[in-house]
Amino acid sequence: MKNREINAIGSPTYFPTACSIQDEYISSKLDLSIIIPVYNEEENIAELYERLCSILSVLDKTYEIIFVDDGSNDNTFQEIETIPDSNIRIIKFQRNYGKAAALSYGFNKSRGDFIITLDGDLQDDPKEIPRFLEKLKEFDMVSGWKVKRQDPISKTFPSKCFNRLTRFITGVGINDFNCGYKAYNNYVVKNINLYGELHRYIPALAYWKGYTVGEIEVEHHPRVHGESKYGTGRLFKGFLDLITVTFLMMYKKRPLHIFGGIGFLLGFSGVIISLYLMVLWIMGVKIGDRPLLMLGILLTVIGAQFISLGLIGELITNSRNNDDYIIKYDIIKYDSYELENAR
């Protein structure tokens, strides 16, 4: 418990003993990290921990359980603190920052070779963890699929529509982007940048980075304690974030391609209209009072602005360090004959 508290609050530099304990804690590697974002789940903590222990006790792996309290205003943090287990790490946010922030911080602090994320509402069953770990032998990350989702139709129907749209746009062939029950190899989570509501699109972000994405069916339980933290407002946010993810996947390195393409289309239309009106003017037709004249000028100006915006984006992109490539292998193979001669 001391190690956990030291790392959570940060040790002053004038406590060398505490700092050495903290450094040792950070550097030690584990087989498995389980990250659980929680927000007002005080009634579920004890039972969730018991279910986790019943599975982890037979896995024969070193592990840590990272609870990220996303600014709960009930006794969630106190409930976690009462659990007498040195494998538990507790992180509490000052206020509610959202699930993406909780996952991102958990990813950064995780020490396991394999990462499991699940919700703290008891709807995800820990018994699926061995199946996730087995599937990670084939894929870089594995997403859960709640085939028989135990939620009202007000949540399931919009979710199905959202998943179909996301699958179509991103090209990632999984059925349930919204499922928080996922498994990763450590190197995947260390190379994904989460913010806003982008936790829904982790499979797409991983796929974009070049990682393989798999999926397994998982059992889903109805919520017994507490209330759902997601309302209809998440659909609008999710759609906006889908636009963000699509833009990042396709045009992050080449913003001129999208802005320039739109600008060229609008500007070209404006030029064609203007040329048409100029021909009419040469033929003696009055064009000063035609709405088409204003449309032609407007399209030309807007097109130029879009192209300028794309060029500015290119300047910003090229002024930053864009070497965010992920190297899978870097092997130098020496010729034995050359080595012999070098001696």
57 within some domain: yes
pTM: 0.70
Alpha-carbon distances of 140 from 183, 185, 188, 289, rounded to whole Å? 9, 6, 7, 63
Q: What is the mean pLDDT of each run of 10 residues along the chain (343 residues)?
A: 39 39 62 93 92 91 93 91 91 88 91 93 91 94 85 72 82 85 93 79 88 91 70 64 72 72 88 90 84 90 87 69 52 51 55
Pair (315, 176) in one structural domain: no
pLDDT the model gives residue 31: 93
Pair (81, 17) in one structural domain: yes
d(CA 62, CA 109): 16
Give the domain range for residue 273. Answer: 255-319
Alpha-carbon distances of 300 from 31, 107, 266, 295, 303, rounded to whole Å? 59, 47, 7, 9, 5
10 within some domain: yes
159 within some domain: yes
Q: Domain containing 131 — which CATH number?
A: 3.90.550.10
Q: Total structural domains in the chain? A: 2
Pair (193, 310) in one structural domain: no
325 within some domain: no
d(CA 263, CA 265): 5
pLDDT tens for residues 254-288? 777 777 888 889 989 989 998 988 888 888 888 88
Are 137 and 216 within 8 A, CB to CB? no
pLDDT the model gives residue 319: 65
Boundary of a domain, candidates 193, 223, 251: 251
pLDDT tens for residues 121-172? 888 999 999 999 999 999 999 999 888 776 667 677 777 888 888 888 888 8
305 within some domain: yes
Beta strand 112-117 pairing with 88-92: unpaired
334 within some domain: no
131 within some domain: yes
pLDDT the model gives residue 154: 66
d(CA 142, CA 208): 15
Residues written for the chain: 343
Boundary of a domain, candidates 251, 280, 310: 251
274 within some domain: yes
